[in-house]
């Protein structure tokens, strides 16, 4: 059957709107500030094989890796109507333990095999482990929290109370976690309902036809773009500051080969996996590749599995970009994903320099704080990523004080932060003159300063504290970030990754990196 281009556009928007509505449901019904305020979650729709059909405009590091979670659910669970699977195991489709995915089948044409799947992934502010916030300076996955293999959390429409009780008994904030789980389940119920309504209107055969058509269309658009890049091999490497355990820089290397309308990305020269938690599993590397090449396309096309067809990603098991169990991976999802993007963009800057910006801040500046809230006597766990400067391009200055690349969350508003946690925000500002200079300047970073009004444990996982975000074509690098602790009137400059117990009245100050500049100053 020949596809009607108008109807193709209708289905593109219908499926995207379903994903967005799932996100609205999750956002509105969540308990934690991290999900409710920062919107640290993502929603998407998949076909019967677990290939992504459509996504909401949520978080790239979640969405590019989520298909492996869906495929893992399919492989490990006998799914029936009314079931949902939960998982977070990074070596069975997950990314890092705080990112918990819930997958639900959608049965329409028969009761033996699902026609579609809906899924959402949310970052939970605590899933156990050795430190509050579950983003520790770990050396093993076992230290990072409770590991959930693909297992049914909902069966025949009923939540498995025993499994839920087991999980909640292993976290510091069980009431908050239970509320967020309920929100995730409701988001999937919303998606299932809307897909069934869509099929009722158009018929299952037509809907599936246009799902395949959307993937074919996205593949065609990317292939057309790749044809306009000069064939050749382009190499680039950049480094992580360290893994938080040693002080050694960690290399990430890519050899990008463009052949007609296909691209091969070879990461095998990247360093071996390390003791600290900056190791990335394969799904993270795949999500970074998908993000970069989707970003090159200026057209408003659907983001789906079709975009991966012209791309081949080669990694070596046991390396920083394809770690093996039981490697520590808490920071790989958030920090190493950013550096993988920097490396791919660096390679592309040699092929299409007019299209590629200088490096953005290159970190998510992860901060976790936990303890007992003196106001209530109850445990609390706070987690946030902090924005910074974007890299400048050949046409524009970089944006200041924003999230970039693999993260797409909001901030936690000061009012919500101080209401929910025993904190006082003493400064929240743009870090002036932190962007790299050039014909176009990089964006400035952020200053976030928090005063503790209860004793607390603080963990920071950050990058670009030693090695600055690179400039391009003569532009200067952005200014590296800085982490500072004020305790008992003493100032201490902290490393990029640290864990510390602080007394009430102490201040944590995070100064995030600026973006790189572009072009020489005339």
User: What does the alpha-carbon distance between residue 218 and residue 129 come to, in Å, rounded to a whole number?
Assistant: 41
Closest to 130 in 3D by CA, of 122, 119, 141, 120: 141
Q: Whole-angstrom Cα distance, residue 314 to residue 308?
A: 13
The pair phi, psi for residue 397, each rounded to 5°, is: -70, 155
The end-to-end CA distance of the chain, in Å, is: 58
* Matching residue, tokens 């869906």: 70
* Closest-CA residue to 8 (of 191, 177, 156, 220): 220
pLDDT tens for each residue of the chain, 522 residues long: 689 999 999 999 999 999 999 999 999 999 999 999 888 889 999 999 999 998 887 777 777 788 999 999 999 999 999 999 999 999 998 999 999 999 999 999 877 899 999 999 999 999 999 999 999 999 999 999 999 999 999 999 999 999 999 999 999 999 999 999 999 999 999 999 999 999 999 999 999 999 999 999 999 999 999 999 999 999 999 999 999 999 999 999 999 999 999 999 999 999 999 999 999 999 999 999 999 999 999 988 888 999 999 999 999 999 999 999 999 999 999 999 999 999 999 999 999 999 999 999 999 999 999 999 999 999 999 999 999 999 999 999 999 999 999 988 888 899 999 999 999 999 999 999 999 999 999 999 999 999 999 999 999 999 999 999 999 999 999 999 999 999 988 999 999 999 999 999 999 999 999 999 999 987
* Listed residue (218, 224, 228, 292) closest to 254, CA to CA: 292
């Amino acid at each position: 059957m020949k596809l009607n281009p108008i109807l193709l556009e209708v289905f593109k928007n219908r499926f995207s709107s379903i994903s967005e509505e799932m996100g609205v449901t999750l956002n509105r019904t969540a308990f934690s500030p991290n999900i409710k305020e920062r919107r640290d979650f993502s929603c998407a729709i998949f076909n019967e094989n677990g290939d992504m059909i459509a996504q909401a405009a949520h978080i790239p590091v979640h969405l590019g890796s989520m298909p492996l979670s869906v495929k893992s659910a399919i492989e490990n669970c006998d799914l029936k109507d009314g079931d949902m699977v939960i998982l977070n195991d990074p070596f069975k489709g997950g990314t890092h333990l705080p990112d918990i995915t819930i997958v639900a089948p959608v049965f329409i044409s028969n009761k033996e095999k699902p026609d579609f799947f809906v899924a959402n992934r949310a970052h939970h502010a605590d899933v156990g482990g050795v430190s509050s916030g579950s983003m520790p300076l770990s050396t093993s996955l076992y230290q990072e929290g409770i590991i959930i293999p693909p297992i049914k959390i909902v069966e025949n429409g009923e939540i498995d109370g025993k499994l839920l009780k087991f999980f909640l008994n292993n976290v510091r904030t069980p009431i908050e976690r239970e509320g967020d789980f309920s929100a995730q389940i409701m988001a999937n119920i919303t998606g299932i309902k809307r897909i069934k309504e869509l099929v009722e209107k158009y018929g299952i055969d037509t809907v599936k036809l246009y799902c395949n058509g959307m993937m074919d269309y996205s593949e065609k658009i990317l292939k057309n773009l790749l044809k306009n890049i000069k064939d050749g091999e382009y190499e680039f490497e950049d480094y992580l500051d360290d893994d938080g355990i040693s002080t050694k820089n960690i290399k990430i290397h890519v050899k990008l080969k463009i052949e007609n309308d296909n691209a091969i990305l070879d990461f095998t020269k990247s360093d071996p996996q390390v003791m600290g938690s900056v190791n990335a599993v394969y799904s993270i590397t795949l999500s970074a590749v998908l993000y970069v090449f989707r970003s090159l396309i200026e057209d408003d096309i659907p983001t789906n599995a079709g975009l991966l067809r012209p791309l081949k990603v080669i990694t070596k098991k046991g390396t920083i970009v394809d770690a093996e169990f039981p490697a520590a991976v808490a920071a790989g999802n958030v920090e190493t994903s950013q550096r993988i993007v920097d490396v791919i963009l660096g390679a592309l800057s040699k092929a299409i320099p007019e299209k590629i910006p200088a490096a953005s801040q290159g970190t998510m500046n992860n901060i976790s704080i936990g303890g007992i809230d003196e106001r209530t006597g109850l445990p609390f766990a706070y987690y946030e990523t902090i924005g910074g400067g974007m890299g400048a391009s050949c046409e524009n200055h970089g944006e200041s004080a924003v999230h970039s690349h693999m993260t797409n969350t909001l901030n936690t508003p000061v009012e919500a932060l101080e209401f929910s946690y025993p904190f006082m925000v003493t400064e929240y500002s743009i870090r002036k003159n932190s962007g790299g200079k050039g014909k176009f300047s990089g964006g400035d970073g952020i200053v976030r300063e928090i005063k503790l009004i209860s004793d607390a444990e603080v963990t920071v996982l950050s990058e670009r504290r030693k090695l600055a975000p690179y400039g391009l074509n003569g532009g200067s690098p952005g200014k590296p970030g800085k982490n500072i602790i004020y305790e008992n009137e003493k100032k201490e400059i902290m490393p990029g990754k640290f864990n510390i117990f602080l007394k009430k009245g102490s201040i944590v100050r995070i100064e995030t990196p600026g973006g790189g500049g572009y072009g020489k100053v005339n």
